[in-house]
């Protein structure tokens, strides 16, 4: 606790309840800038303070001539080893690696290419699907990831849908074909010690809009059978969608809806795992709710982990989240017990999966501290500051 106190003091996090601060940190996942964290003191301190997870990207939305986090396989192994070394919290290191058009690890960087969900669903060969996903999971394990934001279990429910159907991210039109292939993906990830995340609850395949860009009302296109894969597939984590469904909640989008996440998903459907938000900086949330209100609603809705990918606009720090949640607890807007339950769910998930600490990514301290060895790539870390808002896809 003394060590936590000193880190809190150095970062200006100091609040009356350090245990609450630690729990808030543990239910937060952030994106950051840098291909080597030795020059990014802020993410180092956030990891030491107990940050629950990070999400990595290839593209840098602020400078397209530079990568955000990923250059090649050797650099990535080193970065993920650094992240785990600085963390004291069995860090969730996440990535969107679905296959097809949604691959942060690209073949031009030296990584394998995985067929899209549409391709695998159309082929409908379980051996081919298993082979593809075993190879993907093996590479994620080798490079040090502990979580994959996959599989997508949205149905091919609307030919005019751009974000899911248009990007070939759906296995097919029927819940059965989606469930069959998505379960193979989940099993492949699990066999390599990687947490799978079903997305996007309660179903994004019928939408006409894109929640990355703004408010999406799927009330007239959504069908109840879009829920079926979320019932039938055994998964440790589900990602909420930012879509609005009047028939389920006539006031809030799914990520901010207690009726949808607690009453429907947990109550009626019996889901026991963890729930993570889609990126809270997407237009559907950020353009319609201020940050404090969106966090209040998300936590009370049943979100167990808040995701801020830091791909769009003003970058959010762990200090920002801790300050806001402390205020909400002090005001009685969010109960302390809600934070405790969320923290325990994430801790249980980490314990159950015995997160990836393979020898492949556990380099020596000397190697980690030598910023000139191996690839000799310059870090592209950036100080956290307000930037011009750029809409970039976070899937």
Catalytic positions, please? 212, 278
Cα separation, 179 vs 174, in Å, equals 9
Helix 18-26 crosses helix 336-353 at what angle (to 10 degrees)?
50
Does an H or E element contain 275, and which? strand 274-276
Cα 84 to Cα 356, 361, 363, 383, distances in angstroms: 10, 9, 10, 21
Q: Copy the structure tokens of residue 142.
A: 């080798």
Phi, psi for 93 (deg, rounded to 5): -110, 110
Name which of 74, 123, 92, 120 is nearest 25 in CA terms.
92
Cα separation, 285 vs 267, in Å, equals 24
Cα separation, 34 vs 43, in Å, equals 9
DSSP percent split of the chain into helix, strand, coil, nearest 5: 40, 10, 50
Cα separation, 69 vs 231, in Å, equals 34
Angle at 133 between CA 129 and CA 139, to 5 degrees: 155
Cα separation, 375 vs 74, in Å, equals 7
Cα separation, 86 vs 106, in Å, equals 27
Cα separation, 393 vs 325, in Å, equals 27
Cα separation, 20 vs 343, in Å, equals 10
Contact 32, 54 (CB under 8 A): yes
């Amino acid at each position: 606790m003394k060590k936590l106190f000193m880190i809190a003091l150095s970062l200006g996090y100091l609040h009356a309840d350090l245990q609450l601060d630690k729990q808030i940190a543990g239910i937060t996942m952030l994106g950051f800038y840098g291909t080597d964290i030795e020059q990014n003191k802020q993410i180092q301190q956030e990891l030491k303070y107990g940050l629950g997870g990070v999400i990595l990207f290839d593209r840098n939305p602020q400078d397209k001539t530079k990568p955000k986090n990923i250059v090649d396989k050797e650099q990535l192994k080193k970065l993920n080893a650094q992240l785990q070394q600085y963390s004291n919290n069995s860090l969730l290191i996440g990535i969107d690696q679905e296959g097809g058009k949604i691959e942060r690890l690209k073949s031009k960087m030296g990584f394998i290419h995985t067929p899209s969900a549409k391709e695998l669903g159309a082929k409908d060969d379980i051996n081919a699907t298993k082979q593809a996903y075993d190879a993907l999971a093996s590479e994620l394990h080798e490079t040090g990831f502990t979580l994959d934001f996959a599989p997508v279990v949205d149905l091919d429910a609307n030919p005019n849908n751009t974000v899911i159907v248009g990007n070939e991210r759906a296995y097919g039109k029927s819940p059965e074909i989606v469930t069959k292939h998505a379960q193979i993906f989940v099993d492949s990830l699990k066999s390599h010690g990687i947490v799978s995340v079903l997305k996007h609850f309660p179903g994004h395949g019928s939408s006409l809009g894109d929640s990355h860009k703004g408010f999406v009302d799927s009330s007239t296109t959504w069908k109840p059978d879009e829920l079926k894969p979320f019932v039938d597939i055994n998964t440790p984590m589900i990602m909420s969608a930012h879509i609005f469904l009047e028939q389920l909640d006539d006031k809030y989008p799914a990520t901010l809806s207690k009726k949808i996440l607690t009453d429907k998903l947990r109550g009626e459907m019996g889901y026991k795992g963890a729930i993570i938000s889609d990126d809270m900086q997407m237009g559907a949330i950020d353009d319609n709710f201020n940050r404090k209100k969106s966090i209040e609603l998300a936590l009370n809705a049943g979100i167990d982990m808040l995701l801020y990918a830091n791909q769009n606009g003003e970058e959010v720090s762990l200090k920002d989240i801790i300050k806001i949640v402390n205020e909400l607890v002090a005001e009685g807007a969010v109960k302390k017990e809600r934070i405790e339950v969320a923290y325990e769910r994430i801790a249980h998930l980490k314990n159950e999966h015995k997160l990836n600490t393979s020898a492949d990514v556990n380099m020596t301290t000397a190697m980690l501290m030598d910023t000139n060895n191996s690839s000799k790539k310059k870090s592209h870390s950036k100080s956290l500051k307000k930037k011009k808002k750029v809409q970039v896809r976070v899937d």
